[in-house]
Amino acid sequence: MDRLEAMKLLVAVTEKGSFTAASRDLQVPLATLSRKVADLEAALGARLLVRTTRTLSLTEAGTAYVAAARRILEQVEEAERTAAGEFTAPRGELVLTAPVLFGRLHVLPIVADFLAAFAEIDVRLVLADRNLRLVDDHVDMGVRIGPLADSTMVATRIGTMRTVTCASPAFLAARGRPGQPADLTAMPCVAFDGPMATPAWRYRMPDGNLAEIPVRPRLSVTTAEAAAEAAVRGVGITRLLHYQVAGAVAAGALILLLEPFEPEPLPVHLVHAAHGQMPLKMRSFLDFAVPRLRRALTRLARGSGERDPALTDDIGKA
């Protein structure tokens, strides 16, 4: 029996919550997966899992064994990376993630330049409008827009991002321009039904308090690009992150509204997991990408008339 393989399979089963999900994720036949975990239990002389038709849980012995197996597998992975030279030269595959549109507009150009500068590093760029779990999804680094919930991540702040409200000139000519957030309740809106969607739009009032404004979506869409395009076509007022409409605003196809009432800009970070020595491929990308991302966000802020916030090299626990 391959003990390391059996550990890897057992850890996958516990992380995915079922044999079926682990089988699908690892592309290992379900019968093979079940047999190898059973062989591991037999070799140990201990029951590790309690299986019913609906649930899967660890025994006390299983909990301790899985924790030890994770440590062992991490050490083996680090030893393999060391042997492959990841800690002595920048090489290997680097897996990055970013929101879809932000990644295409701001991360992809940096990645292209990075690949030209580092011939022995390959990059897999995963663009998704949901926050991947870096460790579980085997991702090295990710761009995060918004507050950081995971305190186990190491974060480098690269700037801030406004949340803006906008509409087309034709829409405003026909329907009028809202003078305050409450005016939105009587106007058609385009809602982006994304990961951070809420039933109301939040604005900062003159007294400093935040107000939740219920809006009436004439149209709800599942991508920011579709929301921006619908607003350009005059369907209604939309509310998106600034980078998602910056091009249309610069072209005059959309006009920013209610700027004095915008909430505080969201922080933007480049994050990675905090464990052990950082491979040189990650350190190389961090050093290469951070100043370029900061410049991109500063240009975006200046282009909109936003005051350039002070950006510091604050690498540390998020």
Does 125 share its domain with 168? no
Task: Give me the tens of pLDDT residue by residue for the chain, a chain 318 residues long.
Answer: 788 888 888 888 888 888 888 888 888 888 888 888 888 888 888 888 888 767 788 898 989 998 898 888 877 777 776 666 655 578 889 999 999 999 999 999 999 999 999 999 999 999 988 877 777 778 899 999 998 876 678 899 999 999 999 999 999 999 999 999 999 999 999 999 866 566 789 999 999 899 999 998 999 999 999 999 999 999 999 999 999 999 999 999 999 999 999 999 999 999 998 766 678 899 999 999 999 999 999 998 876 534 333 333 333 333
pLDDT value, residue 318: 34
The residue with tokens 């932000």 is 102
- Is there a domain that residue 308 lies in? no
Does 176 share its domain with 150? no
Domain residues for the domain of 142 are 92-161+267-303
- Is there a domain that residue 60 lies in? yes
pLDDT value, residue 310: 34
pLDDT value, residue 84: 61
Does 97 share its domain with 145? yes
- For the chain, what is the HEC assignment? CCHHHHHHHHHHHHHHCCHHHHHHHHCCCHHHHHHHHHHHHHHHCCCCEEECCCCEEECHHHHHHHHHHHHHHHHHHHHHHHHHCCCCCCCEEEEEEECHHHHHHHHHHHHHHHHHHCCCEEEEEEECCCCCCCCCCCCCEEEEECCCCCCCEEEEEEEEECEEEEECHHHHHHHCCCCCHHHHHHCEEEEECCCCCCCEEEEECCCCCEEEEECEEEEEECCHHHHHHHHHCCCCEEEEEHHHHHHHHHCCCCEEECHHHCCCCEEEEEEEECCCCCCHHHHHHHHHHHHHHHHHHHHHHHHCCCCCCCCCCCEEEC
CATH of the domain at 19: 1.10.10.10
Q: Which of 28, 50, 84 finishes a domain? A: 84
Does 148 share its domain with 223? no
What's the pTM value of the predicted model, to 2 decimals? 0.68
Does 25 share its domain with 104? no
pLDDT value, residue 110: 97
- Is there a domain that residue 316 lies in? no
CATH of the domain at 169: 3.40.190.10
Does 21 share its domain with 49? yes
pLDDT value, residue 276: 63
Does 240 share its domain with 172? yes
Q: Which of 84, 113, 142 finishes a domain? A: 84
- Is there a domain that residue 314 lies in? no
- Is there a domain that residue 217 lies in? yes
| Count: domains in the chain | 3
Does 176 share its domain with 238? yes
- Is there a domain that residue 256 lies in? yes
pLDDT value, residue 263: 94
Q: Which of 84, 101, 120 finishes a domain? A: 84
Does 54 share its domain with 189? no
pLDDT value, residue 254: 97
- Is there a domain that residue 152 lies in? yes
Does 221 share its domain with 246? yes
Does 243 share its domain with 284? no
- Is there a domain that residue 227 lies in? yes
Does 185 share its domain with 257? yes
